[in-house]
Amino acid sequence: MATGALSDRDLALKSVRLRKRTLEIIYHAGAGHTGGSLSCLDILNLLYNRILNVSPETFGEPTRDRYVQSKGHSVEALYAVLADCGFFPNSKLETLCHYQSPFVGHPTRKIPGIEMNTGALGHGLSISVGMALAGKMDGAPYRVFTLMGDGELAEGSNWEAAMAAAHYDLDNLTAIIDHNTLQITGPTRDVCSNEPLDEKWRAFGWTVATVNGHDFAALTEALSKPAEPGKPTCIIANTVKGRGVSFIENTTQWHHRVPTESEFQQAMRELDVAEAKLKEAAE
Amino acid sequence: MSAPAPSTFTPAAQAMAEKLGLKMGRANLDEFGATLMELAKADPNIVVVTSDSRGSGKLGSFGQALPKQLVEVGIAEQNLVGITAGLAAAGKKSFGVSPACFLTARSLEQIKNDVCYSDVPATLVGISAGVSYGALGSTHHSLHDLAALRAIPNITIVVPADNFEAREAVRAAAKSDHPFFIRFGKAPMCHLHKPDAKFAVGNALTLRDGDDVAFIGTGETAVHCLLAAAHLAERGLNCRVLSMHTVKPLDADAVLRCGRECRAVVTAEEHSVHGGLGEACASLLLQAGVNAPFRIVGIPDEDTVTGAQADIFRHYGISMDGLAATALALMKNA
């Protein structure tokens, strides 16, 4: 995407619209991971509209940046962002989770813009290490990004990959943790605490930055900063699960709950108000 | 040079091997290491990934000659498969090499999703497969791998029976745009094929023709099928022997011809009798309405006996005498 084409305010407005679209497709499909999609949506919006060197036209090029969504269950946010970027028509998302639709509940390479089939947790980082290694071997300029859930970090394979990334000096690799602190059973600190996260990643040889995962300026700074030579980068993005809808925010039960008709209408009203405020501020 | 006695053969089987003029080659693992090195020297896009397994995988000299084409991940098989998939997705022709027992059990989810579901051109090489590590106990046996991988779409499964098949399987995998699993043992293998043999994935190779009993063997069991057939020839039976190097996709025509043209069918594999070559053949024959007398010779569903590979083979009747006895019993009851 054209770097810097959208201001932070443009991105904020786009995020509200993408949140509405995400809820629409989940509501329409009767399935989806609402809380986690809303927590990572600002990160995805920023990646595809400001950071990643990839577009529908360049997706087949070997030098494109790669994005692997390790927390595959938040695919509805990814679908909304990819459709908005023109990878496929928005109308295709009406088939989400329908019989024989390619738009299934986790990412697959059948969908334009998606690099790998993910959804089983703890896989994306190893895959990304492989892609980053290939880039180094080829002397290619691309960067590799992966988005992981904080609950997902209990999978041991992540730490195998974290070790290898540091061992191979993969400064072309960035792992973003969607640190919304909730998983399906409850708060991650109660399920099986992974704190202190930053110290763990540093101990594994990574450069670590902790940022507000809904702050476009802070995220941009962390994601555009040149990597420390020879070190992979971990960005711990503090997020709010269900971000943007008052009754969905910070609730465990909205991990994969689908809104009822009245909940859907209420959520849309809230997001309409947010959209109007942003537009008003822009004028 | 006539065949030296590999530990797999009894003296009688050894005598038969000599009578057939079988020449001993090297272990398929050695053939694999040499073939991959040859391919990788010609194609820098070939990358091998090891999990502290380059010695066991006969890739020590590969690592010395082509260090930039070898990725060592340490003892981390899940990461090995994920990285192998990521390399393939980014345009590399990647080979992930690890003992079959760990590769196909610990990393099964990575094989299923990262390699097969994503359908990337990655090859997984299970070294020291079956009961190659027979004396080390069940942790080190891979008798489930064919069953597990047969149930996963998009992957081709090859179990070479000699150095020629091993070499050709590695070459085929290097050319493929889809996932491969190839499985090798540690023991030296007899050359089974004539110089003009043609290898194609999915096409069984006929080692001997006949229409009494058909032996369908795969990998390290194929030579024992050939010896059993030769043994039975001395009793006046003309037996067919197929090397079914490709377990998936199965050569359905060849299997059905065995069932239709021969009086009995015996399959042999270094794998559990559940879910491997034998059950693949049985399913095919039954669903085609071919009801030939049929036996699966493999490792039964029990705590596997331990010892050298040759001990375990003999214990379970994967031997010239054992396979011949199975065939005779089957004919008697037919």
> At residue A1, does pLDDT exceed 60?
no
Indicate yes or no: CB of A108 within 8 angstroms of CB of B119.
no
CB atoms within 10 A of CB A166: 19
Q: Are both B226 and B293 inside the same structural domain?
A: yes
CA–CA separation, B3 and B65 (whole Å): 32
Nearest residue of A to residue B68 by CA position? Answer: A137
> At residue B321, does pLDDT exceed 60?
yes
Backbone angles phi, psi at B307, to 5 degrees: 145, -170
In a domain, B233, yes or no: yes
Average pLDDT over residues B138-146: 97
Q: Look over chain B and give the mean of its residue pLDDT values, rounded to a whole number.
A: 95
Nearest residue of B to residue A135 by CA position? Answer: B90
Domain-ending residue, one of B190, B225, B257: B190
Indicate yes or no: CB of B82 within 8 angstroms of CB of A123.
yes
Say what the pLDDT of residue A182 is.
95
Say what the pLDDT of residue B278 is.
98
Give contacts of A120 with chain B, Cβ < 8 Å. 109, 113
Residue the block writes with tokens 């090798």: B184
Question: What angle is formed at CA A100 by the lines to CA A96 and CA A106, rounded to 5 degrees?
Answer: 45
Which pLDDT band holds residue B55 (cuts at 50, 70, 90)?
A: confident
Say what the pLDDT of residue A2 is.
45
CA distance A22 to chain B (A): 25
Nearest residue of A to residue B107 by CA position? Answer: A157
CA distance B79 to chain A (A): 5
> At residue A7, does pLDDT exceed 90?
yes
Say what the pLDDT of residue B334 is.
67
Q: Are both B271 and B308 inside the same structural domain?
A: yes
End-to-end CA distance of chain B: 41
In a domain, B156, yes or no: yes
In a domain, B6, yes or no: no
Read off the tokens for B162. 């000699």
pLDDT tens-digit profile of B155-209?
A: 999 999 999 999 999 999 999 999 999 999 999 999 999 989 999 999 999 999 9
> At residue A264, does pLDDT exceed 50?
yes
Question: What angle is formed at CA A143 by the lines to CA A116 and CA B108, rounded to 5 degrees?
Answer: 30
Which residue among B74, B78, B88 places its CB closest to the CB of A157?
B78
Which residue among B73, B74, B86 places its CB closest to the CB of A131?
B86
Indicate yes or no: CB of B90 within 8 angstroms of CB of A160.
no
Nearest residue of B to residue A64 by CA position? Answer: B90
Which residue among B74, B76, B87 places its CB closest to the CB of A130?
B87
Say what the pLDDT of residue B1 is.
37
How many contacts, defined by CB atoms under 8 Å, are there between A and B?
101
Q: Are both B159 and B211 inside the same structural domain?
A: no
Whose CA is closest to B89, among A62, A174, A202?
A: A62
Q: Are both B219 and B161 inside the same structural domain?
A: no
- The A residues from 148 to 167 touching B (CB cutoff 8 Å) are 156-157, 160-161, 163-164, 167
Indicate yes or no: CB of B82 within 8 angstroms of CB of A135.
no
Give contacts of A164 with chain B, Cβ < 8 Å. 73-74, 76, 79, 83
Q: Are both B121 and B137 inside the same structural domain?
A: yes
In a domain, B4, yes or no: no
Q: Give the CATH number for residue B110.
A: 3.40.50.970
Q: Is the pTM of this model over 0.80?
A: yes
Give contacts of A122 with chain B, Cβ < 8 Å. 78
Q: Does B244 touch chain A (CB under 8 A)?
A: no
CA–CA separation, B26 and B7 (whole Å): 13
- Residue-wise DSSP of B81-135: HHHHHHHHHTT-EEEEEEEHHHHTTTTHHHIIIIIIITT-SEEEEEES-BTTTGG
pLDDT tens-digit profile of A61-115?
A: 999 999 999 999 999 999 999 999 999 999 999 999 999 999 999 999 999 999 9
In a domain, B128, yes or no: yes
Domain count, chain B: 2
Question: What angle is formed at CA B32 by the lines to CA B30 and CA B37, rounded to 5 degrees?
Answer: 100
Q: Please, what's the largest Cα pairwise distance for chain A?
A: 54
Q: Are both B16 and B43 inside the same structural domain?
A: no
Q: Which residue out of B79, B113, B118 would a mutagenesis test of the A interface target, given it has the greatest number of A Cβ atoms within 10 Å?
A: B79
CA distance B81 to chain A (A): 8
Indicate yes or no: CB of A125 within 8 angstroms of CB of B109.
no
| CATH number, span A8-282 | 3.40.50.970
Say what the pLDDT of residue B195 is.
86
Q: Does B79 touch chain A (CB under 8 A)?
A: yes
Read off the tokens for B320. 């010239």
Q: Are both B48 and B116 inside the same structural domain?
A: yes
Say what the pLDDT of residue A36 is.
97
CA–CA separation, A192 and A251 (whole Å): 18
In a domain, B300, yes or no: yes
Indicate yes or no: CB of A123 within 8 angstroms of CB of B92.
no
Q: Does B111 touch chain A (CB under 8 A)?
A: no
Backbone angles phi, psi at A38, to 5 degrees: -70, -30
Which pLDDT band holds residue A4 (cuts at 50, 70, 90)?
A: low
Burial of A199 (0-12, 13-18, 19+ CB in 10 A): exposed
pLDDT tens-digit profile of A218-231?
A: 999 999 999 999 99
CA–CA separation, A176 and B140 (whole Å): 37
pLDDT tens-digit profile of A49-62?
A: 999 999 999 999 99
Give contacts of B82 with chain A, Cβ < 8 Å. 123, 125-127, 129-130, 157, 161
Q: Which residue out of B46, B72, B118, B154 would a mutagenesis test of the A interface target, given it has the greatest number of A Cβ atoms within 10 Å?
A: B118
Q: Does B68 touch chain A (CB under 8 A)?
A: yes
Say what the pLDDT of residue B8 is.
73
Residue B294: DSSP 8-state = E
Q: Give the CATH number for residue B305.
A: 3.40.50.920
In a domain, B1, yes or no: no
Q: Are both B127 and B166 inside the same structural domain?
A: yes
Say what the pLDDT of residue B56 is.
83
Q: Are both B105 and B166 inside the same structural domain?
A: yes
pLDDT tens-digit profile of B238-280?
A: 999 999 999 999 999 999 999 999 999 999 999 999 999 999 9
Q: Are both B152 and B17 inside the same structural domain?
A: no
Query: Residue A140, by phi and psi: left (phi above 0), alpha (psi -120 to 50) or beta?
Result: beta
Which residue among B83, B88, B117 places its CB closest to the CB of A126?
B83
Structural domain boundaries, residue B218: 11-23+197-333
Nearest residue of B to residue A116 by CA position? Answer: B118
> At residue B296, does pLDDT exceed 60?
yes
Give contacts of B92 with chain A, Cβ < 8 Å. 134, 137
In a domain, B272, yes or no: yes
Domain-ending residue, one of B190, B211, B232: B190
Q: Look over chain A and give the mean of its residue pLDDT values, rounded to a whole number.
A: 96
Which pLDDT band holds residue B7 (cuts at 50, 70, 90)?
A: low
Q: Are both B19 and B30 inside the same structural domain?
A: no
Say what the pLDDT of residue A283 is.
78
Indicate yes or no: CB of B79 within 8 angstroms of CB of A134.
no
Say what the pLDDT of residue B3 is.
38
Pairing label, strands B93-99, B122-127: parallel
Say what the pLDDT of residue B4 is.
39
Pairing label, strands B46-50, B70-72: parallel
Residue B142: DSSP 8-state = B
Average pLDDT over residues A163-188: 97
Indicate yes or no: CB of B82 within 8 angstroms of CB of A62.
no
> At residue B291, does pLDDT exceed 60?
yes
